[in-house]
Amino acid sequence: MLDRYAQDLAGLAVRGRLRKLAPRVGMDFASNDYLALAESPELAAAARAALARGVPIGAGGSRLLRGNHSEHEALEEDAARFFGAESALFFSAGFTANEALLSTAPQREDLILYDALAHASAHEGMRLARAPNARFAHNDVGAAEGAIRAWREKGGRGRVWIVVESLYSMDGDRAPLDDLCALAEQNEAFLLIDEAHATGVYGPGGRGLAARFEGKDNVITLHTCGKAMGVAGGLLCLPRVLRDFMINRCRPFIFATAPSPMIAACVRAALKIIEAADNRRAELMSRIELAGAELRRLCAIEPSGSQIQPIIVGDDVRATTLASRLQALGYDIRAIRPPTVPEGSARLRIALTLNTRKEEVAQMIAHLREELARLEP
């Protein structure tokens, strides 16, 4: 009965793709806790204050039943105001929010057009969507424009939904948001911008790389709360009519137990913390600059320019071997392999956070140079 699953796992192991849960060990170069808020005194105090004023831990039901708590509504009001959107809708995870939107809002006559490196959550939403989808080459606005034109020439008459990330989670590069927004305007298309790795780190007050586009009728942003904000959940910022449509038509919203009111209270606190976190952002940028300079100097690697730095080695086994050697030296660095990244691009994904000191960043890159030289060609 279980043989086929065991065979599948054995096949993954042979190809160097078997995944296992591993504990937190060593210096943090793996998490998305970019501003070191997840274990901060500020968020701990916010949780204690919420408990003291009687905020429940569990919602007890879906938002459309008794699960709708005043903390959910207060968070959505705060988030809409903070990010500059007409409204917001809170989900228990960013993955769920992305999947929920794309499986619900695009209609049968529409087209979902996505960047080739769009997140797995977008792919899951598209798998469940009514609308067909097509991809365009990473960050190639001309290719996206050509795909829209070809679809129209074949009779496409609905709306186009352009799906991108503002900062890509595995490559650490930015989307050309100005050009994408112009393309969306020219084609009366919706633009969905996943700000997962930009929220809290970039933009005025940590509002993200898409801050200047928030509030447009055709722009929807996703701000995840479990990365730089240090909590959990996902906030869709969108026009009010789309929010109401999601409440009435979105199955992952309608039939799921509501997110924890306690978590909602902590996310509200996190919004205030990141708005006032210019010093933290400056500290993080100094680590990014140091890492970039050392990668060029010691490893001849061109840095991404962000807090996400891929070290692409190509082969799956080489990537896991390199990660294991660095872990043995005291660095929590993980190997990323297909299908998370394209075939032949297995890598280390180095994340820079305020959980590590500058001297630890420099030390890690010196060890990285040594271990890269030791790798079998």
Alpha-carbon gap, residue 354 to 352, rounded angstroms: 7
Sign, Cα dihedral of 84, 86, 90, 96: negative
> Is-catalytic flag, 39?
no
69, 72, 119, 223: which one is catalytic?
A: 119
60 phi and psi angles, rounded to 5 deg? 85, 0
In a 3-state reduction of DSSP, which class is residue 305? coil
Alpha-carbon gap, residue 44 to 54, rounded angstroms: 16
> Is-catalytic flag, 32?
yes
189 phi and psi angles, rounded to 5 deg? -105, 155
Alpha-carbon gap, residue 143 to 107, rounded angstroms: 23
69, 216, 223, 227: which one is catalytic?
A: 227
Alpha-carbon gap, residue 125 to 129, rounded angstroms: 6
Residue 56, burial from CB neighbour count under 10 angstroms (0-12, 13-18, 19+): middle
- Tokens describing residue 263: 């978590």
98, 133, 169, 306: which one is catalytic?
A: 169
> Is-catalytic flag, 197?
yes
Alpha-carbon gap, residue 46 to 36, rounded angstroms: 15
71, 165, 171, 195: which one is catalytic?
A: 165
72 CB-side CA count, 13 A: 24
194, 214, 294, 332: which one is catalytic?
A: 194
69, 72, 197, 216: which one is catalytic?
A: 197
Residue 194 CA, distance from chain mean position? 7
Single-letter amino acid code for the residue at 362: A
> Is-catalytic flag, 355?
no
> Is-catalytic flag, 165?
yes
> Is-catalytic flag, 169?
yes
> Is-catalytic flag, 188?
no
Q: Which residues are marked as active site?
A: 32, 119, 165, 169, 194, 197, 227
